[in-house]
Amino acid sequence: MTLQPRCEDVETAEGVALTVTGVAQVKIMTEKELLAVACEQFLGKNVQDIKNVVLQTLEGHLRSILGTLTVEQIYQDRDQFAKLVREVAAPDVGRMGIEILSFTIKDVYDKVDYLSSLGKTQTAVVQRDADIGVAEAERDAGIREAECKKEMLDVKFMADTKIADSKRAFELQKSAFSEEVNIKTAEAQLAYELQGAREQQKIRQEEIEIEVVQRKKQIAVEEQEILRTDKELIATVRRPAEAEAHRIQEIAEGEKVKQVLLAQAEAEKIRKIGEAEAAVIEAMGKAEAERMKLKAQAYQKYGDSAKMALVLEALPQIAAKVAAPLSKVDEIVVLSGDNNKVTSEVNRLLAELPASVHALTGVDLSKIPLIKKATGAQV
């Protein structure tokens, strides 16, 4: 008889519920004693009843054995599991006159994918071991390749070092030769430049001599211009009695200035011998400034009379500027019933005029007889 014992959702030793299906081949024993036992157990029953009795016995032993094993033991070693069931169940069914010819595990599965997870884990382990093996092989190959490259680079480095040493020695020798040539060339160039500088210095000294002569001539012309201006101012400003005294004083001062200028020109000649063209231009600028200074001193030496003349010449212009706004006025009306008061106001304004001019220019108009007389008179 062929039986298929089946145990559903039986917990293993780890508490995992499994469903196990087996296939058993059984028969009634033919020995007299055992046959008598079988007759005693199954007399009056049909084949299906016999199958049910034996099937329940096998399923009970299968269930009890499942509770003592782990999933891995059941799944990975089915033959050992079937052998264990056969050995445990054989004595019980033998006492009923039944012999177990074979017992195998047909199917093992669970409803929580535990077995599939074991497969995945095993697959991952195998894949990991494979990856590790590949990585180790690649590592060994890389190490060997790196060693070969290192040997190659060592040989290349030694060759490059020798080439660099030879090149460096060549460059050093070449630099030494070039340095010697450059030194000789520089010495020759320096000697040429020194000789040219000496010649240029001689030419510059001649130019300075010419400039000094021209400067002296310019000073003489400026002295004549000062004398002419002095005479012009004396003739147009000072009284005849003071003209002679001023002339003598200005001649003396001019002579003094002349001596000073000549001494300065001589000192300027000595100082400028070793200077460049820029210094000459600077000296000419200073000479121009000196000329302007001498003119200013000349005007200053005329004293208050010259200042007075300049102020008197400027007064009409000042009056014109002051009166310019009044030229646009058609009519001025003085609101006063007292004619004497208007006259007194005009006299007051004329009396304050010298003080205003003195505050603006520093010239006291009241010392001039004509102005003093005009301001003191009744208008």
Element (H, E) at 31: none
Structure tokens at 259: 């001596």
Q: Is residue 7 part of a domain?
A: yes
Q: How confident is the model at residue 373 (pLDDT cuts 50, 70, 90)?
A: very low
Domain limits at 107? 2-112
Residue that has been written with the tokens 């005007």 in this structure: 299
Predicted pLDDT at 126? 61
Q: Is residue 135 part of a domain?
A: no
How many other CB atoms are found less than 10 A from the CB of residue 339?
9
**Beta 98-109 vs 17-28: how paired, if at all?**
antiparallel
Predicted pLDDT at 304? 62
Q: Is residue 41 part of a domain?
A: yes
pLDDT at 123 over 70: no
Q: Is residue 17 part of a domain?
A: yes
Q: Is residue 35 part of a domain?
A: yes
In the predicted model, what is the mean pLDDT of the chain?
Answer: 77
Q: What percent of the chain has pLDDT over 70?
A: 70
CA distances from 308 to 18, 114, 240, 366 (A): 139, 130, 16, 11
β-sheet bridge partners, residue 103: 24
Question: pLDDT tens across 240-282, in order?
Answer: 666 677 678 778 777 777 787 777 777 777 777 767 667 667 7
* CATH number, domain with residue 83: 3.30.479.30
Question: pLDDT tens across 202-231, in order?
Answer: 888 888 888 888 888 888 888 888 888 777
How many other CB atoms are found less than 10 A from the CB of residue 306?
19
Q: Is residue 97 part of a domain?
A: yes
Q: Is residue 188 part of a domain?
A: no
Q: How confident is the model at residue 310 (pLDDT cuts 50, 70, 90)?
A: low
Predicted pLDDT at 377? 43
Query: 38: Cβ–Cβ under 8 A, 6 or more apart, which residues?
Result: 28, 29, 96, 97, 98
The better pLDDT of the pair 190, 261 is held by: 190
pLDDT at 361 over 60: yes
Give residue 176's Cα distance to chain centre: 43
Domain count, the chain: 1
Q: Is residue 117 part of a domain?
A: no
Q: Which of 126-135, 155-164, 199-208 has the lowest mean pLDDT?
A: 126-135
Element (H, E) at 150: helix 114-236
pLDDT at 107 over 80: yes
Average pLDDT over residues 174-197: 85
Task: Give the closest residue to 255 by CA, choosing from 289, 227, 296, 217.
Answer: 227
Half-sphere exposure of 111 (CA within 13 A, CB side): 6
